[in-house]
Amino acid sequence: MTAILDEFAEHLALERGRSVHTQRAYRGDLTSLFDHLSATNPQASLADLSLPVLRSWLGAQARQGAARSTVARRTSAAKIFTAWATRRGLMKTDPAIRLQQPKSRRTLPAVLRQDQAVAAMEAAHSGAEQDDPMALRDRLIVEMLYATGIRVSELCGLDVDDIDRSRKVLRVLGKGDKERTVPFGGPAADALTAWLERGRADLANSGSGAALLLGARGRRIDPRQVRTVVHQTMSAVPGAPDIGPHGLRHSAATHLLEGGADLRVVQELLGHSTLATTQLYTHVTVARLRAVHDQAHPRA
């Protein structure tokens, strides 16, 4: 099955434009499916993959406590794979054609209040006052995530040349290899200047390449390191939710809408393929308005 999964991953990358993260997730999902198939029949081949097997596998996932979103993604992985395998002639018929896609429950994301976001940025700035290279980098991480609302993978993938410091914009390669331009403000620009002029050179080495953000060993930073930085920063803000990089993205979008930004502009900034995804943030702002109304209005 390894060779088939390799070929399928190539299909995801070249023909469907799926990210490395999605390829990795789908490969894990399909490995789980094939393990389930082998457990039911050690001699099973791809031809034995049937609708009952798929339903049995997904049912087992749900019973084991998999999140609704995880089951939905695994259903998608199976449906995309079997459709591809059928077209390739690896399967005679597509067993997943009648497999229903479970609806993923859209939950309101945890976001910072605007005063909490300011406090988080101030905490990062305070930590960088001694010009420690790692602290300068950490300040840039939280400032840039909040200023732009970009994804953690997009932040990690930034090269120095992706940033136009004079125009205060950065070039981002998002999902599906779609490129977009995202602006940032003065505080993020200050953090960027401090990092480039007083921090990056102390960590850079022959393996750094053009990467904007570096780890302690001079290599391009990875999402796990960024999550650690964000969680540590949030821990310094009393009463703030323990959010990660995606929480800063949610917060940036919510605060833009609270400030009167057009929904379609926010969609473009975030790199959402559909407006429906961006509209989730309107529910966040309405929920926050409702909470304020209930607390403050005498006849709420």
What six digits make up the tokens of 32? 């789980």
> pLDDT value at position 292?
59
Confidence of residue 100 (pLDDT cuts 50, 70, 90): confident
> pLDDT value at position 288?
62
Per-residue pLDDT at 149 exceeds 80: yes
User: From the CB of residue 201, how many other CB atoms can be counted at a distance below 10 Å?
Assistant: 11
> pLDDT value at position 68?
84
Across the chain, mean pLDDT equals 89
Catalytic residues: 151, 175, 246, 249, 272, 281
> pLDDT value at position 279?
77
Burial of 138 from C-beta contacts in 10 A (0-12 / 13-18 / 19+): buried
> pLDDT value at position 178?
81
> pLDDT value at position 299?
59
Per-residue pLDDT at 296 exceeds 90: no
User: From the CB of residue 57, how many other CB atoms can be counted at a distance below 10 Å?
Assistant: 22
Dihedral over Cα of 36, 40, 43, 46: its sign? negative
Bigger pLDDT: 68 vs 29: 29
182 strand-pairing partners: 170
> pLDDT value at position 298?
62
Domains along the sequence of the chain with CATH: 2-87 (1.10.150), 114-296 (1.10.443.10)
Confidence of residue 183 (pLDDT cuts 50, 70, 90): very high
Per-residue pLDDT at 300 exceeds 70: no
Find the mean pLDDT for residues 202-225.
Answer: 94
Strands, E, within the chain: which ranges? 163-164, 169-173, 179-183
Find the mean pLDDT for residues 154-179.
Answer: 90
